[in-house]
């Protein structure tokens, strides 16, 4: 085989690898957000299985969009309004995907007595008292924390949106690698992600979170890392105790709880230290 042919073959393989990664990213973008992707993007269960490696990257994108919306409206309105509009934009981008999971988990765990009854309640599209209360409290806590950050420094919410949207999603997606998937129905929104995960998937996922944390001062980054790990482990234990594993709703609830914890961690530092 000629050197020219070998070079061409290696180049083709590399391009194929890059193309495949790009396709995985687009699949993740379509699955986790409402952002449109090219209709020519190939979709398969295998690609969706590995798309969770880019869950953290999706968080960065959502965080950047929320930050840009915030920067635009902070020029026109007080921080209370600008933060609210930025949060609404995040809900629209994701289709309230994770908030839905949070509500379902609280409805199921609050109203069910057996694993089967909890899973059945979580599948119900109707919103119950527990779920509604959880949503109100979660959205309220996030809004208050972000507004408080903005009152300390109007640029702090930018860091919060980008970093916390990323690492909270990394925490949620990482549960897939540690616990069994417990919902057996065929129409679950997360079932394809529960199969055939690889070390490369978890590697890319974790590296994304670490790289994003590196934009923060070391002490703050370590604090965010520790609190996120604690929330992730606590959620995993909670779900395993309640269900014997996780469902897609559990991943959404983990993301929401990790996001709230992340904002509160940033607020604690901003209130007592300069960063």
The partner residues of 246 in beta bridges, in order of sequence, read 181
The pLDDT assigned to 212 comes to: 97
Residue 163 CB coordination number (10 Å): 25
Contact 105, 129 (CB under 8 A): no
- Two structure tokens written together for 160: 């919060």
- Give the Å distances, CA to CA, from 213 to 170, 221, 222: 12, 5, 8
> Distance between CA atoms of 107 and 129, rounded to whole angstroms?
7
Q: Which residues contact 106 (CB under 8 A, 6 or more apart)?
A: 130, 131, 133, 134, 253
Taking the model in full, what pTM does it have? Answer: 0.89
> Distance between CA atoms of 64 and 1, rounded to whole angstroms?
48
DSSP 103-140: HHHHHHHHH-SSHHHHHHHHH--S--HHHHHHHHHHHH
What region, left, alpha or beta, does residue 39 occupy, with left being phi > 0 and alpha being psi -120 to 50 degrees?
Answer: alpha
Angle between helices 129-152 and 248-272 (to 10 degrees): 30
The terminus-to-terminus CA distance of the chain in angstroms comes to: 58
- Two structure tokens written together for 108: 């199921």
User: 3-class SS at 181?
Assistant: strand
The partner residues of 5 in beta bridges, in order of sequence, read none
The pLDDT assigned to 3 comes to: 45
The pLDDT assigned to 41 comes to: 85
The pLDDT assigned to 83 comes to: 98
Contact 176, 254 (CB under 8 A): no
CA angle 205, 210, 213 (to 5 degrees): 130
Contact 65, 217 (CB under 8 A): no
- Helices and strands of the chain, counted as H and E runs: 11, 0
Closest CA to 45 of 169, 212, 192: 192
Q: State the virtual CA torsion across 75, 76, 79, 85 in degrees, nearest 10.
A: -110
Residue ranges of the chain with per-residue pLDDT less than 70: 1-16, 184-197, 274-275
The pLDDT assigned to 54 comes to: 95
């Amino acid at each position: 085989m000629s050197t020219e042919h070998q070079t061409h073959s290696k180049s083709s393989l590399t391009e194929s690898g890059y193309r495949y990664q790009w396709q995985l990213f687009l699949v993740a973008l379509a699955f986790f957000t409402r952002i449109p992707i090219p209709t020519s993007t190939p979709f398969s269960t295998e690609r969706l299985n590995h798309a969770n490696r880019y869950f953290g990257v999706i968080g960065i994108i959502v965080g950047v969009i929320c930050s840009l919306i915030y920067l635009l409206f902070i020029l026109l309105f007080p921080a209370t309004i600008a933060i609210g509009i930025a949060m609404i934009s995040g809900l629209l981008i994701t289709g309230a995907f994770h908030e839905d999971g949070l509500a379902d988990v609280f409805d199921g765990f609050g109203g069910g007595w057996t694993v089967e009854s909890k899973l059945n309640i979580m599948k119900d599209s109707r919103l119950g008292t527990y779920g509604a209360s959880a949503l109100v409290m979660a959205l309220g806590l996030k809004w208050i924390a972000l507004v408080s950050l903005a009152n300390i420094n109007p640029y702090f919410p930018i860091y919060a949106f980008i970093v916390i949207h990323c690492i909270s999603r990394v925490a949620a997606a990482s549960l897939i690698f540690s616990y069994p998937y417990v919902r057996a129905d065929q129409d679950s929104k997360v079932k394809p992600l529960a199969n055939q995960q690889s070390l490369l998937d978890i590697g890319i996922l974790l590296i994304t979170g670490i790289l994003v944390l590196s934009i923060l001062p070391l002490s703050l980054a370590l604090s965010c890392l520790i609190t996120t790990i604690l929330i992730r482990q606590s959620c995993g234990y909670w779900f395993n105790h309640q269900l014997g594993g996780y469902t897609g709703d559990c991943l959404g609830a983990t993301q929401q709880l990790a996001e709230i914890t992340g904002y509160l961690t940033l607020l604690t530092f901003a209130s007592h230290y300069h960063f």
